[in-house]
């Protein structure tokens, strides 16, 4: 081990070695009979509240499971009616994660009879196979969601269960919730873990449930200020992460009301802030802006999170969580105008400074790759080439950890942009942003400046990407040039065609009579293949690539304009 360890990058390697050693000690302790005994005491006294997960259910998926086909994370496991999915290998790791998280329980219950009784059988089968302890199925990222999903289903699946079966399921829920609260994995997802444990505690009866609830709420109150920014965004800067935590907190709020417990002020404050963030990130097509490891999600899913938003009619702010919005009659633009999350918060962050998404007529037009941790896609989808922004040469503005540090710490971003300048201007009939970062300065001595201008009356978006010498001085001097590219990734439902002038590109969204012209003054314009992830699955798409050459001592620029084409 001495050779490989010595060759790892200093700081991350040292941190990874320390974390790995601590985890090994903790793992050995968790596998002991004494630890299992402590988790089981005191035993819960029956069931308590009936927490309600506000996420939409898929009764058709539940019916498939009742028929013996588990379709999860894009893979299928056929067990036959009343089969056992726990006694056979899963198709892949993503499937196994989804299976052990038990998010499918709500679908099974929603499918009607015999859904609840079948859900109970599957939970008891899991208990026999994995109920003592297992390194994979009891890992924090899997356990967190299983505790939440089981807590929301336990009342329903135990409706016709025997007293012994109900006691066993309640005990298992208590053990897993206590285990979850003991998982000291740092600040990332600490709020989500504490919330899941608190929801489980509300579902358990008697003094043991009350004690567990008090402990979980105390941890939640400490974790929320670090997780939810004052302006409502999630610390990861992922719009989807904000929406998912909002779902969980609203479930907890409802369950506390059932128990006659006043929700802590910190919980209510976080709910209000997250609701505002979700309102900001919901675009004209009802989906989320897809940035920083978050997916766009289905409109019905987003709408379910907003159903209890008491401030629904409030005006949407122009900026939140480091993002900026510009809007005209038909156009809607969202720009990532802040650095990605850093450190432990960056395991799903994307090194894509100044990336944009554009909707035209409530249809996605210009997008990013839409990568998320649940997507079956490479880590390269987190880099600058997979976003609608500019890049220089083959360089990136940061990259995920690799090797041993990534195995221990997760694929955190390293070397990413740590500062972004953003200035917003408003005038009658016009809105514009002036953005800049120096992510290319160390290697090329160039600064990327992006100007986005909305002409409200003309319903046009005008952009300029400029590369200027950082600090007024180019790297290398002389007459050296470096290639640069400005990319516009298109949604899979958008077709692109280069005009005869070899410059202008006609964009035509499916289902719209009106197209959009992307005009520019680039040296070279090309349409190339791309990929866009939806629901974690890749879909073929296209990207427009504008190419040029930047002189290191003086820089370069490309101007472009998006405007409506005349209808046929």
Residue 109 inside a domain? The answer is yes
Strand, coil or helix: 520: strand
Residue 240 inside a domain? The answer is no
Give CA–CA dist 144/100, Å, rounded: 10
Buried b (16+ CB within 10 A) or exposed e, 66-99: beebbbbbbbebebeeebebbeeebeeebbbbbb
The structural domain count of the chain equals 2
Give CA–CA dist 5/16, Å, rounded: 10
Residues 6 or more apart whose CB falls under 8 angstroms from that of 100 comprise 126, 130, 136, 137, 142, 146
Q: Please classify residue 451 by burial: count the beta carbons closer than 10 Å to its beta carbon, then call 0-12 exposed, 13-18 middle and 19+ buried.
A: middle
Q: Please classify residue 162 by burial: count the beta carbons closer than 10 Å to its beta carbon, then call 0-12 exposed, 13-18 middle and 19+ buried.
A: exposed
Residue 446 · residue 469 · CB < 8 Å? yes
pLDDT value at residue 14: 79
DSSP 251-296: HHHHHHHHHT-PPPHHHHHHHHHHHHHHHHHB-TTSSBP--TT---
DSSP H or E run through 555 = none
Residue after which a domain boundary falls, among 142, 164, 185? 185
For the chain, the distance separating the N- and C-terminal CA atoms, rounded to the nearest angstrom, is 68
Give CA–CA dist 390/395, Å, rounded: 11
Residue 361 inside a domain? The answer is yes
Q: Give how far the C-alpha of residue 4 lies from the chain's centroid of Cα atoms, to the nearest Å.
A: 33
DSSP H or E run through 102 = none
Residue 230 inside a domain? The answer is no
Residue 75 inside a domain? The answer is yes
* Paired strand residues for 188: none
Residue 315 inside a domain? The answer is no
Residue 173 · residue 127 · CB < 8 Å? no
pLDDT value at residue 261: 96
Give CA–CA dist 147/326, Å, rounded: 40
Give CA–CA dist 470/552, Å, rounded: 10
Residue 143 inside a domain? The answer is yes
Q: Give the domain range for residue 51.
A: 44-185
Q: How far is CA 175 from CA 125, 169, 378, 406, 436, in A?
A: 17, 10, 36, 30, 50
pLDDT 10s digit of each residue in the chain, 568 long?
A: 334 333 345 677 778 787 777 777 777 777 788 877 888 889 999 999 999 999 999 999 999 999 999 999 989 999 999 999 999 999 999 999 999 999 999 999 999 999 999 999 999 999 999 998 888 999 999 999 999 999 999 999 999 999 999 999 999 999 999 999 998 788 999 999 999 999 999 999 999 999 999 999 999 999 999 999 998 899 999 999 999 999 999 999 999 999 999 999 999 999 999 999 999 999 999 999 999 999 999 999 999 999 988 666 677 888 999 999 999 999 999 999 999 999 999 999 999 999 999 999 999 999 999 999 988 789 999 999 999 999 998 889 999 999 999 988 999 999 999 999 999 999 999 999 999 999 999 889 999 999 999 999 999 999 999 999 987 554 544 558 999 999 999 999 999 999 999 999 999 999 888 899 999 999 999 999 999 999 888 999 999 999 999 999 899 999 999 999 975 4
- Can you list the positions of beta strands (E) in 318-459? 319-320, 323-327, 331-336, 356-360, 363-367, 390-392, 399-400, 413-414, 420-427, 430-437, 446-455
Give CA–CA dist 200/440, Å, rounded: 48
Residue 70 · residue 58 · CB < 8 Å? no
Residue 455 inside a domain? The answer is yes
Give CA–CA dist 270/225, Å, rounded: 8
pLDDT value at residue 236: 98
Give CA–CA dist 197/121, Å, rounded: 23
- Report pTM: 0.94
Residue after which a domain boundary falls, among 185, 208, 232? 185
Buried b (16+ CB within 10 A) or exposed e, 232-263: bbbbbbbbbbbbbbbbbbbbbebbbeebebeb
Residues 6 or more apart whose CB falls under 8 angstroms from that of 489 comprise 366, 367, 368, 369, 386, 387, 388, 530, 532, 541, 542, 543
Residue after which a domain boundary falls, among 137, 166, 185? 185
CATH code of residue 464 = 2.70.98.70
Closest listed residue to residue 472, CA positions, set 447, 440, 492: 447
pLDDT value at residue 8: 40
Residue 344 · residue 256 · CB < 8 Å? no
Residue 408 · residue 16 · CB < 8 Å? yes
User: Other CB atoms closer than 10 Å to residue 17's CB: what's the count?
Assistant: 16
């Amino acid at each position: 081990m001495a050779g490989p360890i010595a060759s790892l990058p200093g700081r991350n390697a040292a941190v990874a070695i320390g974390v790995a050693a601590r985890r090994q000690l903790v793992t050995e302790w968790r596998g002991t009979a004494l630890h299992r005994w402590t988790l089981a005491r005191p035993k819960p006294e029956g069931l308590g509240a009936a927490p309600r997960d506000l996420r939409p259910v898929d009764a058709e998926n539940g019916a498939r499971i009742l028929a013996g086909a588990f379709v999860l994370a894009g893979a299928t496991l056929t067990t036959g009616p009343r089969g056992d999915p726990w006694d056979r290998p899963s198709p892949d790791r993503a499937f196994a994660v989804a299976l052990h998280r038990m998010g499918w329980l709500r679908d099974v219950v929603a499918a009607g009879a015999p859904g609840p009784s079948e859900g109970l059988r599957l939970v008891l089968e899991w208990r026999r196979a994995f109920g003592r302890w297992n390194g994979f199925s009891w890992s924090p990222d899997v356990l967190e969601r299983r505790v939440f999903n089981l807590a929301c289903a336990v009342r329903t699946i135990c409706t016709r269960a025997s007293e012994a079966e109900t006691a066993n399921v309640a005990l298992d829920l208590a053990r897993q919730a206590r285990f979850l609260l003991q998982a000291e994995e740092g600040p990332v997802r600490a709020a989500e873990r504490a919330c899941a444990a608190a929801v489980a505690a509300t579902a358990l009866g008697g003094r043991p449930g009350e004690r567990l609830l008090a402990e979980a709420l105390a941890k939640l109150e400490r974790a929320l200020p670090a997780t939810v920014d004052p302006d409502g965004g999630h610390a990861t800067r992922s719009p989807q992460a904000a929406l998912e935590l909002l779902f969980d907190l609203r479930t907890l709020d409802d369950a506390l009301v059932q128990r006659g417990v006043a929700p802590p002020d910190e919980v209510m404050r976080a709910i209000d802030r997250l609701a505002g963030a979700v309102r900001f990130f919901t675009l004209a097509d009802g989906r989320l802006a897809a940035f920083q490891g978050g997916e766009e999600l289905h409109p019905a899913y987003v709408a379910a999170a907003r159903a209890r938003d008491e401030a629904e009619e409030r005006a949407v702010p122009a900026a939140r969580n480091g993002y900026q919005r510009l809007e005209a009659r038909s156009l809607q633009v969202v720009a990532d105008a802040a650095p990605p999350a850093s450190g432990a918060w960056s395991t799903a962050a994307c090194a894509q400074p100044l990336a944009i998404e554009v909707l035209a007529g409530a249809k996605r037009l210009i997008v990013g790759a839409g990568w998320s941790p649940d997507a079956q896609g490479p880590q390269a989808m987190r880099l600058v080439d997979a976003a609608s922004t500019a890049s220089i040469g083959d360089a990136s503005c940061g990259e995920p950890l690799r090797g041993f540090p990534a195995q221990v710490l997760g694929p955190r971003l390293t070397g990413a942009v740590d500062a972004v300048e953003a200035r917003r201007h408003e005038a009658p009939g016009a809105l514009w942003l002036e953005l800049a970062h120096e992510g290319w300065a160390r290697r090329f001595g160039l600064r990327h400046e992006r100007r986005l201008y909305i002409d409200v009356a003309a319903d046009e978006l005008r952009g300029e990407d400029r590369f200027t010498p950082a600090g007024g001085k180019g790297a290398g001097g002389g007459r050296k040039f470096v290639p640069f590219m400005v990319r516009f990734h298109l949604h899979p439902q958008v077709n692109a065609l280069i005009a005869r002038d070899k410059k202008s590109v006609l964009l035509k969204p499916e289902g719209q009579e009106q197209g959009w012209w992307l005009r520019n003054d680039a040296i070279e314009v090309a349409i190339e293949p791309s990929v866009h992830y939806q629901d974690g699955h890749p879909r073929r798409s296209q990207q427009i690539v504008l190419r040029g050459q930047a002189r290191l001592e003086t820089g370069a620029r490309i101007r472009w304009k998006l405007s409506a084409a005349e209808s046929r």
